[in-house]
Structure 1
């Protein structure tokens, strides 16, 4: 699949690279696995003198042997003495950067935490000593969110405050998913919607499906839910390193959230223990879930829900992990029947989320969310607010446009309207075919 999007990110990296002609620049690139961090860095460096180091689970000495070999392939330099530590390698490259411009990419940077944490202090010390005298753009890439935040945002860590730019790479927008489908001659609003549900715009997932010419609902389900599918254990591969030994409890919570048990009280009544700490960790440290409130709620409001942020993970916990026994016995027909049975109720939230993302991309609103009242009464799919122009869009979203009723929507919004007395209100109904009007 060709390289899509990321124009804004590449522009930022190019500006930093230009600045690196005068003194060193450090950029941190984070984001969930498969989102395209490495591809972005390589795209940036492809026409520049660069080195790429991948921090795999090996000893420091083994890594240094690999890195030294890479350096020798690109630069004709004398190496005096033994290179046995990353400190030695880094100093060697800093000395090269005194005389010529270089981009250094260090991928899975958080792995040094398990190999030799003192590397971070060594890098900080050497960077502080040499930054002003080198022409280097140093890129650190990391996939374990909690560790990367700790390394660069905790005041106790040596690299705190050293990064010139921290970039969080997001999945592709609905507009880019549409572009990919159009390039493959497979665009329909429904195909876009189903790809959005399954992939959430994650580039690697889109690439896998595109390489297999898999774009419609049936072919996607047949590919995702089959023996040896790369998606069957993907959720486990993504999260176990992040969540650690207690992943079993976290998985139980996530499975419940994916099945619409979205309040803390519901989760605790089923699990049978306090999960407040686990919810806080997944929201604040691991960036897996988010807590949402009605769009007009006050900060101290207790009306709230927990949702899984990642579309694929939500699908994986709802249909794959929840039916792990069927996966183990390779009864994928059974799982597909479950998907077909539950699809409409499951997909409703993602249709709301899809249109919310599309509206966010218009730049017309400063606040977009949902609305509901205590007991999940008077639920409204989309409330989009422009506080500057004093405008509010209140919208209902349905798979079937015949089920949209603006009169019912206005009735449900009676209490909500009280929060926006001096705003211009508009009421809309959105269905799948409206995607083409907006993107």
Structure 2
């Protein structure tokens, strides 16, 4: 699949490179985001033909400080044609040498998966900070640090106690493609596709670039072909992706984290319900899953005060929602491990309609969030859960509200029932009664609408 989108990100990186050369000072850019989001591809696209030498350096897991220094000096010296580079074994001296070269050579150095260096290079971030502060002025280096463990990167650059706090000239967090971008990519790659195919693709990829490319490269963009690809030998990479990503994040108590995630994915959304199913105190696990790993999130009724306890947990990443629901289940793992693809596909196909119904709600919420006219977007439910509204979008500037019931099958839309729920909602929020309120069904036919 060719490179899509990221126009604003490319422009920003190019502008930062121009600044290095016009201001005669080194610049530091940080590019982060979940794994497979397209960080490396973006950096390669930005600097492959940028007019100055571009050096890509991958930080291998377990690399020693001596190896790190030797490999980095080799990569830089070969690209810049340095005939007799020094032999250095300290990261601080190595960074100082690279920054000294930047005073006579303009170039871009991208260090990928930089967070892996801190476990084997003593005081890695402090050594980089020391060299940077002493040598960046007068150079023309754009140093790009890319990392996938976002919590580590934000700790290093966002904490006041961190050596590199305040040093980044750019901190870019790559997000999945928007619904509009995913839609555009889908129909360009598969012009004959239908909305159901688009929804299924969104359900299994969440708009993550690498997953979209995987299915596009296998010509597996229809709903049928997607299931055939996932549950086959060629889908082994996708099948293993979930546990691989989780193993990169978790260090201890992996089984407890996985149990909680599996429960949340299956619809156990309240803290009390989760606690009832485990023998350990889940509070620290929930806190880390939400704050450190960002794998779950609290969802609250729209307009609810944050102090209220009326919230639910859900898997934050659409890919993990699918992976836990369709791949990590014991029955599916049994089929996959034995290569019994037909029953694995049949089981997934049976579960898919209910899953797509929930995915469609997420699609329309994201669709509204992408429209700047809507200042508040979300779902709503009362404390007892007796009245629930799938989508509410509020435009306070124009004093209008869109309220929608999302149904995979439009024939199941019940306008009378929705209007009764709206009455209950307005009883809780009488300040909105004067707004212009529009209600409607939203189904798979509306996926491409500009809402």
TM-score range, shorter chain: over 0.9
- Displacement over 4 Å in runs of 4+: none
Q: CA deviation at 1:29?
A: 0.9
Once the two structures are overlaid, the 10-residue window that deviates more, 298-307 or 409-418, is 409-418
Give the 3 Å change call, closer, same or farther, for CA 84–117 of structure 1 in structure 2. closer
Cα contact 1:404–1:429 (8 A) shared by 2: yes
CA–CA separation in structure 1 for the residues paired with 2:176 and 2:365: 15
- Please give the secondary structure, in 2, of the residue aligned with 1:116: coil
Q: 2:77 aligns with which of 72, 75, 81?
A: 72
Cα contact 1:145–1:287 (8 A) shared by 2: no
Name the structure 2 match of 1:197. Answer: 203
Name the structure 1 match of 2:54. Answer: 50
Name the structure 2 match of 1:108. Answer: 113
CA–CA separation in structure 1 for the residues paired with 2:434 and 2:146: 47
Q: CA deviation at 1:327?
A: 2.7
Q: 1:35 aligns with which of 31, 34, 37?
A: 37
Name the structure 1 match of 2:291. Answer: 284
Provide Cα deviations, 1:364-384, integer angstroms capped at 9, x if missing partner.
111111111123221111111
CA–CA separation in structure 1 for the residues paired with 2:17 and 2:39: 17
Cα contact 2:149–2:249 (8 A) shared by 1: yes
Name the structure 2 match of 1:247. Answer: 254
Q: CA deviation at 1:92?
A: 2.1
- Please give the secondary structure, in 2, of the residue aligned with 1:407: helix
Name the structure 1 match of 2:269. Answer: 262
Q: CA deviation at 1:120?
A: 0.9
Cα contact 1:35–1:170 (8 A) shared by 2: yes
TM-score by length of 1: 0.96
Q: CA deviation at 1:298?
A: 1.2
Name the structure 2 match of 1:413. Answer: 422
Q: CA deviation at 1:437?
A: 2.6
Name the structure 2 match of 1:325. Answer: 334
Q: 1:344 aligns with which of 353, 362, 366?
A: 353
Name the structure 1 match of 2:241. Answer: 234
- Please give the secondary structure, in 2, of the residue aligned with 1:266: helix
Gaps of 5+ in 1: none
Provide Cα deviations, 1:117-149, integer angstroms capped at 9, x if missing partner.
412111101111122221122111000122112
Provide Cα deviations, 1:400-437, integer angstroms capped at 9, x if missing partner.
11112222211112121241123221112111111233
Residue 274 (str. 1) matches residue 286 (str. 2): no
Name the structure 2 match of 1:218. Answer: 224
Cα contact 2:377–2:391 (8 A) shared by 1: yes
Residue 436 (str. 1) matches residue 448 (str. 2): yes
Name the structure 1 match of 2:127. Answer: 122
Q: CA deviation at 1:81?
A: 4.0
Name the structure 2 match of 1:15. Answer: 15
CA–CA separation in structure 2 for the residues paired with 1:266 and 1:358: 31
Cα contact 2:96–2:132 (8 A) shared by 1: no
Cα contact 2:92–2:130 (8 A) shared by 1: no
Cα contact 1:378–1:413 (8 A) shared by 2: no
- Please give the secondary structure, in 2, of the residue aligned with 1:345: helix
- Please give the secondary structure, in 2, of the residue aligned with 1:233: helix
Q: CA deviation at 1:191?
A: 1.1
CA–CA separation in structure 2 for the residues paired with 1:130 and 1:422: 61
CA–CA separation in structure 2 for the residues paired with 1:410 and 1:164: 51
CA–CA separation in structure 2 for the residues paired with 1:106 and 1:135: 17
Q: CA deviation at 1:74?
A: 1.4
Cα contact 1:27–1:139 (8 A) shared by 2: yes
Root-mean-square deviation (CA, aligned residues, Å) is 1.7
Q: CA deviation at 1:205?
A: 0.9
CA–CA separation in structure 1 for the residues paired with 2:257 and 2:177: 27
Provide Cα deviations, 1:336-384, integer angstroms capped at 9, x if missing partner.
3332332222222210110111122222111111111123221111111
CA–CA separation in structure 2 for the residues paired with 1:374 and 1:191: 36
**Residues 78-97 of structure 1: matches in 2 within 5 Å?**
78-79=83-84, 81-97=86-102
